[in-house]
Amino acid sequence: MRKHTLSAEVLSMFKDSFEYNPSTGVLRWKRSPAVNIKKGYIAGRLHTNGHLEVGICKKTYMVHHVIWALTHGKFPEATLVHINGNKRDNRLDNLTESGYGPAKKYN
Whether the CB-CB separation of 18 and 70 falls below 8 Å is answered with yes
pLDDT of residue 7: 87
Percent of the chain with pLDDT strictly greater than 90: 67
pLDDT of residue 99: 64
Does the domain formed by 8-97 have CATH 3.90.850.10? no
pLDDT of residue 34: 84
pLDDT of residue 101: 46
pLDDT of residue 5: 66
pLDDT tens digits, 46-71: 999 999 999 988 899 999 999 999 99
Tell whether the model's pLDDT for residue 100 goes beyond 70.
no
Work out the average pLDDT over 81-95.
95
Domain ranges of the chain: 8-97
